[in-house]
Structure 1
């Protein structure tokens, strides 16, 4: 494949020779299954050296459901801009003579514990968690992140843990910190499939630690026998025949706040787990899926044995939401997929904007009433209503392909 802008034939690159200039990771370079640099998959990713189908080198992740050429892997692991990578490939100045970057997985490698030992640790961690109170760091975090959320709406699968140890990507013990615990449960389960931890400061901010790629390391999934395996976190205590699904808990709580706890909301950690959602669908007539608008990734029809059927550009959040939507429609459910129109902006961000504008409109009405004793006639109020109507007309910054949801 020749990149039209950079004029580099990536298929002509001897990747077995070139990739070690950029990445230092024996397991990845061996072509064995291992941790994915793009998601939280622990043993789902591998480099496919010189595929049998076309002789080219690529990569595949069973959790992401995507694949591509090694340029994307270099970009993700090293943080180098694509333009710089293509320049070095074209000029054969691989990594400019610098030392290769050590790959640090998003999650630490699985320990050599038995499945029952892992389940025991999960149970003990959850049992030591307590209900979220207004003076807890968890509520400080949630109430700051999600305006309009009420503590009495919180569901049974979230707790506050007073202190869990935080280990950085290089194994350093940074001490104990308060944790927002989320329990992921599958249909018919009585125990957690895994726990998601969000480490916080006592003031309710995310801990400032970064992972090996310079991104926030505040969120960590606990090791479990089978991973999340489609498990979900029931975020609120509403019971309804309509179910809203999100990837992250913060986005889910924004939905809870927008609908004022009138519909049930569950989160599933990431888009790969969303597509595998294991929920008792008989409890619901309608499902609303809030899809994250991720950056585009190249997806190849690559199977585990290295065969390929071509490549397309997809946004993982929307792609996996579509997979689940088709499954639900096949069993007779009414499904709405709501996708952000701005890359990197999720519904939590949109809800914060909506909430602020609602507050502006309310303040305008209050000022009008205080001056005239009546409402609905001033230009100030009309302007505020116009802004809110415009926001609603735009779907609150979201597009709803094929269907719409009332604001």
Structure 2
């Protein structure tokens, strides 16, 4: 794959292949596109063989750190006499991340089929989907898809074979970002306040209701049916050696063609921008995030970084959710980072001191810097506070809050200094699209 490849060669529509068809979300449409054929293959295999097959295919988690999916399934202890649970994390709430919701809206049966396969593999008889509660249209489609799956016999009595029933519960959360953290999600699912748990024990040993539990992202599970149906060699024919397969890249921000682009892992932002029309007319890329606001920002120098787990990691960031937020030269970095930090301060559950207090003080200092009320020492102070949060908070929310601070200071420290020395933001609010109260008249072409 290189920069001269045509868009047809770059894109690999699998999950998104029929999103634009009428009634794409129905069981009938899904069956016309080989729906539930992967399940047929999986049910003919021993559960341990399914896990081994997914491991050999190299499928990695599509929701954050990229942990191998098959290995996660393998951690579930067998023969322990306890119920096993599968929980799908559909609480998508990372700023810039927008892949799971359209996937569930257009193709919910890919997730349901993947869940049935995963339940067969880990010997589970009850699975849960934890959905962000605000997305009511998706909730309705999920309920309808689950009803269709029950009626067709893919769920319910004998779904996994004679005497092997499978129940699937769709749970709507209340819209807390912290519940995207897997142990906070489990507490919320049990009816408790959503706060991260102390680990160990890990969910694979003591998860939902203190029983062995696998927690996977929507896209991770939805990728399993096509892998089982078309084979591990087909899956490995895409992507890179250590990051094989296809994935959804969410392109947003100051771009001509925002949207979902399903491509092999390892495609570059330059290639995605080339096929989507580039940045908005008359503007150039200033900075971007490879995986949502919690991943360290990159600049135009990183346009040719392979967007796989190893490539982005080597560039000093994380692939995360593959939420490619692109900002042009009209954007004030300090303003953007302030808005992100306000989000993390608001969504902190307050359980641990570094995150609860650190995000609060970061917001106060960033607001002062943006308003020109700070000193140069305050720039070092936000770096010091971010270091106090990073790696010391109870969960990864603190790390996510620190990432924009570290990366923006690395690439744009002079912009912070301009705010201090110039007694305010050097950007014209009328030209900057991050000044939400003054940009209603601006047009971003899509």
TM-score by length of 1: 0.30
TM-score by length of 2: 0.28
Structure having the higher helix fraction is: 2
For the pair shown, which has the larger CA radius of gyration, 1 or 2?
1
